Amino acid sequence: MTDSQPAIRLTGLTKEFGAVTAVDHVDLEIAAGEFFSMLGPSGSGKTTVLRLIAGFEQPTGGTIELFGEDVTKRAPFDRDVNTVFQDYALFPHMSVLDNVAYGLRVRGIGKKERTERARRALASVRLEQMGDRKPSQLSGGQRQRVALARATVVEPKVLLLDEPLGALDLKLREQMQVELKQIQRDLGITFIFVTHDQEEALTLSDRVAVFNDGRIEQLGTPAELYERPGSRFVAGFVGTSNLFDDERSRALLGRSGEHSVRPEKLVVTAEPETGDGVRSAPGTVVEVIYLGSGIRTVIDLDAGARVTVLAQNDRRGLAAGDRGDRVHVSWHDADVVSLAPAASSSEADAAASVA
Partner 1 sequence: MTSASVESRPHRSAARAGSAFLTTHPRTRLALLLAAPLFWLVVVYIVALALLLVTAFWSVDSFTGEITTEFTLDNIITVVTGSLYQTVTVRTVGVALAVTIIDVLLALPIAYFMAKVASPRMQRVLVILVLTPLWASYLVKAYAWRSVLSQDGILEWLLAPFGGHTPGYGLPATIITLSYLWLPYVILPIYAGLERVPDSLLEASGDLGGKSWSTLRLVVFPLILPAIIAGTIFSFSLSLGDYITVNIVGGANQMLGNLVYTNVGAANNLPLASAIALIPIVIIFGYLFLVRRTGALDNL
Which residues here bind partner 1, judged by CB under 8 A?
Answer: 54-56, 75-77, 81-83, 85-87, 89-93, 102-103, 105-107, 150-151, 154
Q: Are 296 and 231 in contact, with CB atoms under 8 Å apart?
A: no
Q: Between residues 152 and 198, which has the closer beta carbon with respect to partner 1?
A: 152
Amino acid at 245: D
Q: What CA–CA distances, in Å, run from 251 to 244, 264, 292?
A: 10, 21, 34
- The residue count of the chain comes to 355
Whose CA is closest to 322, among 351, 293, 299, 291? 299
Residue with Cβ nearer partner 1 (98 or 258): 98
Closest approach of partner 1 to the CB of residue 77, in Å: 5
Nearer of residues 162 and 258 to partner 1, judged by Cβ: 162
Distance of CA 339 to the CA centre of its chain: 20
Nearer to partner 1, 81 or 285 (CB): 81
Gap between the Cα atoms of 250 and 222, Å rounded: 29
Pairing between β-strand 8-17 and β-strand 20-30 as defined by DSSP bridges: antiparallel
Smallest gap from Cβ 301 to partner 1, in A, equals 50
**Of residues 187 and 298, the one with the C-beta less far from partner 1:** 187
Radius of gyration of the chain measured on its C-alpha atoms: 24
We find the least distance from the C-beta atom of residue 210 to partner 1, in angstroms, to be: 26
Contact 190, 143 (CB under 8 A): no
Nearer to partner 1, 79 or 173 (CB): 79
Nearer to partner 1, 48 or 83 (CB): 83
Element (H, E) at 162: strand 158-162
CB 161 within 8 A of CB 191: yes
Q: Is the dihedral of CA 269, 271, 272, 276 positive or negative?
A: negative
- Of 151 and 340, the one with the shorter C-beta distance to partner 1 is 151
What 3-state class would DSSP assign to 131?
coil
Residue 110 gets the label, from left (phi > 0), alpha (psi -120 to 50) or beta, of beta
Closer residue to partner 1 (CB): 90 or 309 = 90
Host H or E run for residue 11: strand 8-17
What's phi and psi for 273, nearest 5 deg?
-95, 145
Q: How many Å apart are CA 15 and CA 214, to the nearest integer?
A: 9
C-alpha 331/C-alpha 319 separation (Å) is 17
Q: Shortest distance, CB of residue 67 to partner 1, whole angstroms?
A: 18
Nearest distance, CB of residue 86 and partner 1, angstroms: 8
Min separation Cβ 92 and partner 1, Å: 7
Rounded to the nearest whole angstrom, what is the least distance from the CB of residue 263 to partner 1 in the complex? 39
CA angle 91, 51, 21 (to 5 degrees): 140
* Least distance to partner 1, CB of residue 17, Å: 12
What is the closest distance, in whole angstroms, from the C-beta atom of residue 209 to partner 1 in the complex?
A: 22
